[in-house]
Amino acid sequence: MPAAANESVERKNVRALIGIISTVAEDAMNTWEQESGRIPSLDKPVDDTRAVAPELLRSMRLLESACFQLCSTLMPTSLSMITRSYAPIDSACLGVASQGKVADVLDGHPKGLHVDIIAEKTQLPAEKLARVLRLLAVKHCFKEVSKDVSANNRLSHSIRSTTPLAALISTFSDICHENAWPFLYSTLADPEYGPSNSPTKTSFSWSMRKEKPDATFFGYLAERPEKSEMFGKAMTAFDAGGVQEFYPIGSLPAGATWCDVGGGQGGVLIPVANTHPTLRLTLQDQLHVIEEAKQHFAQECPGVLNEKRISFVPIDFFKEPPVPNQDVYYMRMIIHDWPDAESIQILKNVRKAMGPQSRLLIHDYVLPSLDSKAQTQHIPKPLLPTYYGAGGQRSFMMDQHAGAAELEGAHAAGLHQPRPRQRARHPHSPRRIEWHTVPEIPALEELPKA
Ligand SMILES: C[S@@+](CC[C@H](N)C(=O)[O-])C[C@H]1O[C@@H](n2cnc3c(N)ncnc32)[C@H](O)[C@@H]1O
């Protein structure tokens, strides 16, 4: 229908949002069909959505932003704000499902189970559990097949107790809800903690200050092997937009060396090892994490261990350089954890290790800058110039999370300014630093086509 000439700005904006939704939903369906032969089903308890093309991430960012903006525009204000205020309840209910292992109980029961049976197996009260599951089901995690009968769907299947996403939910509910996120205001308002950029003056440190002054998140994990293991596994959940999507690893020469600095349990290195068998790999992290990584590799890709294609070398990246003369030093989700001074210390240590042919790849969240025309000009109106809006929210959440729960984070570190991206013309030219972003990619459009 042709738009009326005297349409209000609001009507034009709503129409534009509907247009974006319609276009990018079509694009996303086409990408899924090209990539996996079909559009993923929400109903099926199988996660076949793991290999994600950059174009799909871009479509999803637009779609999520446009849907959220459309609802925020047309919804009465009080409904919008009440829903946002309730947000921690979503997370708490996920915590119940995950810690109660509800998805494990439902595994293998495609027709679902009555809540009385789920309650008996999880040792949770049936009537209250039914209400938790209903709230989760209205947002498509679990499905209520009939009254009080629940079954797994794609989302709930992904939080069975052995999965990285279950570890992520447990890390959030067990550590972040307990010791960090709720204390953001108290920390900001505290005259000592609020203005400080010290890694020992975060919300996490604030909540622990009576028990252990100057507590840090990684120090806390180091003293608690079970939680450290859970956190390490949680990191492997960040699998969308892997490095191989953005960097031409395949064109490195056979025998090239690749050192993952702060590589955790191998969330990045395992897929790299599986897809690039000629690389010689090194994983470096704190000693206790190295032990977790060895176990993880033994479970997930024992061949890489048997073929001795990987070395595990402990490091304290503040105190010492990584192993010398590697072709590639790679750091994912490391720099965002630290304020400027600590980041510089880490980078200086990597610099000491670098040989003339070495390059450093930094794969991290880079927050967009409103005053960067290059970053905002391609965002279709009326989406927000700040990273499109809600489709970019995970980067800002990570910024808050890294600031509150882990350490000072990218924002405090001043790393939210966009870094120049080196192009693929000389993809392996020496002594380069490249910034790549995960998996919310503010400058995805700037990436060279594969
Ligand atoms: C946010 S995690 C990222 C893990 C991994 N790079 C990934 O992307 O899955 C940060 C990592 O930094 C490591 N780390 C923290 N402090 C460290 C230190 N002083 N020396 C070496 N590694 C450290 C942690 O053990 C953890 O594995």
DSSP string, 48-68: ---S--HHHHHHHHHHHHHHH
Evaluate whether 273 touches 305 at the Cβ level (below 8 Å): no
Atom of ligand 1 nearest to the CA of 236: 9
What is the DSSP track for 57-104? HHHHHHHHHHHHHHHHHHS-HHHHHHHHHTHHHHHHHHHHHHHTTHHH
Alpha helices in 327-408 (DSSP H): 340-353, 373-376, 393-401
pLDDT at residue 378, as a whole number:
82
**Beta strands at 280-285 and 257-261: parallel, antiparallel or unpaired:** parallel
178 closest CA partner among 141, 113, 227: 227
Cβ neighbours, 10 Å, residue 322: 22
Specify the residue for token string 């570890």: 167
pLDDT at residue 49, as a whole number:
75
Output the CA–CA distances (angstroms, integers) from residue 199 to 164, 193, 195, 223, in the order listed.
Answer: 27, 10, 12, 17
Mean pLDDT of 118-139: 98
Atom of ligand 1 nearest to the CA of 363: 8
Output the CA–CA distances (angstroms, integers) from residue 109 to 24, 130, 145, 149, in the order listed.
Answer: 35, 17, 12, 11
Where exactly are the structural domains of the chain? 3-83, 86-157, 164-235, 248-437
pLDDT at residue 250, as a whole number:
87
- Among 149-153, 187-191, 370-374, the range scoring the smallest mean pLDDT is 370-374
pLDDT at residue 448, as a whole number:
36
Evaluate whether 228 touches 295 at the Cβ level (below 8 Å): no
Question: Is 423 or 331 the better-scoring residue by pLDDT?
Answer: 331
Mean pLDDT of 81-87: 95
Output the CA–CA distances (angstroms, integers) from residue 296 to 3, 151, 291, 300, 396, in the order listed.
Answer: 58, 30, 9, 6, 30
Evaluate whether 292 touches 228 at the Cβ level (below 8 Å): yes
- Ligand 1 centroid, distance to 163 Cα (angstroms): 20
Say how far apart CA 10 and CA 227 lie, in whole Å: 49
pLDDT at residue 414, as a whole number:
28
Same fold, 86-157 and 248-437: no
Question: For ligand 1, which residues put their CB under 6 angstroms from it?
Answer: 218, 235, 262-264, 267-268, 285-286, 289, 315-318, 332-334, 337
Which is it for the CA torsion 29, 32, 33, 38, positive or negative? negative
Cβ neighbours, 10 Å, residue 274: 12
- pLDDT, tens only, 401-412: 876 554 333 332
Evaluate whether 268 touches 283 at the Cβ level (below 8 Å): no
Burial of 69 (0-12, 13-18, 19+ CB in 10 A): buried
Per-residue burial over 241-272, b if 16 or more Cβ lie within 10 Å, else e, is bbbebbbebeebeeebbbbbbbbbbbbbbbbb
Active site residue 336: yes
Say how far apart CA 393 and CA 435 lie, in whole Å: 20
* Mutation test residue for ligand 1: of 258, 269, 285, 328, the one with most atoms within 8 Å of CB: 285
Mean predicted lDDT score pLDDT of the chain:
86
pLDDT at residue 211, as a whole number:
93
Task: At 301, list the tokens.
Answer: 């890709």
Say how far apart CA 329 and CA 137 lie, in whole Å: 43
pLDDT at residue 204, as a whole number:
93
CATH code of the region 248-437: 3.40.50.150
Mean pLDDT of 203-216: 93
**How does residue 58 score in pLDDT terms, banded at 50, 70 and 90?**
confident
Q: Looking at the predicted structure, is the pLDDT value of residue 437 above 50? A: no
Q: Looking at the predicted structure, is the pLDDT value of residue 420 above 50? A: no
Mean pLDDT of 222-234: 96
pTM: 0.86
Share of the chain above pLDDT 90, in %: 66
Mean pLDDT of 82-111: 95
pLDDT at residue 48, as a whole number:
75
- Ligand 1 centroid, distance to 321 Cα (angstroms): 15
* Residue of the CA atom closest to atom 15 of ligand 1: 218
* Residue of the CA atom closest to atom 14 of ligand 1: 262
- Ligand 1 centroid, distance to 291 Cα (angstroms): 13
Question: Which one of the listed residues 296, 336, 363, 436 is annotated catalytic?
Answer: 336
Say how far apart CA 152 and CA 103 lie, in whole Å: 6
Residues 6+ apart with CB under 8 A from 47: 154, 157, 158
What's CA 401's distance to the chain center, in Å? 11
Evaluate whether 112 touches 137 at the Cβ level (below 8 Å): no
What is the DSSP track for 160-204? STTSHHHHHHHHIIIIIHHHTGGGHHHHHHSTTTTT---TTSSHH
Correct CATH for 86-157 of 3.90.550.10, 3.30.1360.200, 1.10.3720.10, 1.10.10.10? 1.10.10.10
- pLDDT, tens only, 359-371: 999 888 877 777 7
- Among 120-134, 227-241, 328-342, 427-441, the range scoring the smallest mean pLDDT is 427-441
